[in-house]
Amino acid sequence: MIDSFLENIDHLHDLVVIKTNIPKGVKKDVVMRIRTMKKNLVEYVESNALTDVDGVNADKADFWSWLNSSNSAETTFIKEYDRIFKWKRGWVNTWTGYSNEGKSSWLYFILLIKLLQDKNAKVAIFSPENYPRNRFVKDWVKTMLGYDPKNSTKAKCEKMIEMFEDRLFYVYPSSHDIDSIENQFQNLVKLHQVNITVIDPYLKISKPSGVNDLQYLTSFVKRQEVFAKQNNVSHHVVYHQLTPQMDESGNYVPVDMYRIKGGGSITDGSDTVSSVQRPYRKTDAEDKSVVITTQKVKDFDLFSDGYLRIEYHLSKNRYFLNGIDIFEQAMKNSEFKTELF
């Protein structure tokens, strides 16, 4: 409508200039007034124009339904750990720790329990450090057996793999850029209803040339938030820490969520931040102590921050709490226990 009005003003201008027979001085004054009127009108319209409504009160969900769904988080099947962590769809979960101290091992341990206890759980994992897929599977079979699979039988190992085979999707695209990884994740969400996704670690993602690390990381963190929400998955990303510092005892200082390699934007952009540390490993390589800490949680109605002190037994690839085998405890009265033992 305003465009049509402006065209009419232009037409009036042309009439005055071309087709009217009035004195030059008057004509010049009229033309200047027309031009000023048009300029003022354009400025007024531009300063008062409204953009298209986008995202204003767009969520029409019923409050009560939202309240109950937003407070839903799924158990880890480890009672003591549920106090500081649960599976929550739509959230970005950051995992961090020093190199070779078990940040991925603990994540995959609780993932295995989740798959064995929850038949609706399906996971897609980008973990190039565990390539090929059978190398990844081997660690899970070792946990399930409680000993090296080489000391078992082919039939028993195959039976165990069947327990999660159709719900574990190991993603290893030809290109390791984030577009390729997320495209595969999204395909699996649509085709197989995957509801847990893992990138392990961030450092193995190929970055585009011409973009500095900080710019890319800032964009990446925001992208993970969008991905988790749009696909309604429990999304997990593993990050390394900066070079560790020593304390007075000769061990590494506690892992800090603001010393993740890449900066504090990772913590700020995450719904949860969990760390895994072997606190005495530097001075005693045989020490089995592990501290699992939730350093940040978005919603304290679901669970809180805090820590869990446990032990890791490499020979079994299992964790123990107060001398009790966590895997055995979590599998109590489970289908896994019934079928295989």
CB atoms near residue 324 (< 10 Å): 11
* This prediction's pTM: 0.82
Q: What is the third-level CATH fold of 75-340?
A: Rossmann fold (3.40.50)
The whole-number pLDDT of residue 68 equals 66
Dig out the tokens for 144 from the structure.
Answer: 């399930």
3-class DSSP state of 49: coil
The answer to whether residues 136 and 209 touch, using CB atoms and an 8 Å cutoff, is no
Beta bridge partners, 277, equal 291
Give the orientation angle of helix 133-145 with respect to helix 154-162, to 10 degrees. 100
Torsion on CA atoms 182, 188, 194, 195, rounded to nearest 10 = 20
- For residues 336 and 116, is the Cβ–Cβ distance under 8 A? yes
Record the tokens describing residue 337, joined without a space: 């226990």
β-pairing verdict for 318-321 and 123-126: unpaired
* pLDDT value at residue 335: 73
pLDDT string in tens for the chain (341-residue length) = 556 665 666 665 666 666 667 777 776 777 778 778 778 877 777 777 777 777 777 777 777 676 666 568 999 999 999 999 999 999 999 999 999 999 999 999 999 999 999 999 999 999 999 999 999 999 999 999 999 999 999 999 999 999 999 999 999 999 999 999 999 999 999 999 999 999 999 999 999 988 899 899 999 999 999 999 999 999 999 999 999 999 999 999 999 999 999 888 999 999 999 999 999 999 999 999 999 999 999 999 999 999 999 999 999 999 999 999 999 999 987 776 655 55
Residue 182 DSSP code = H
Determine the pLDDT at residue 140. 97
**Cβ atoms of residues 336 and 115 within 8 Å:** no
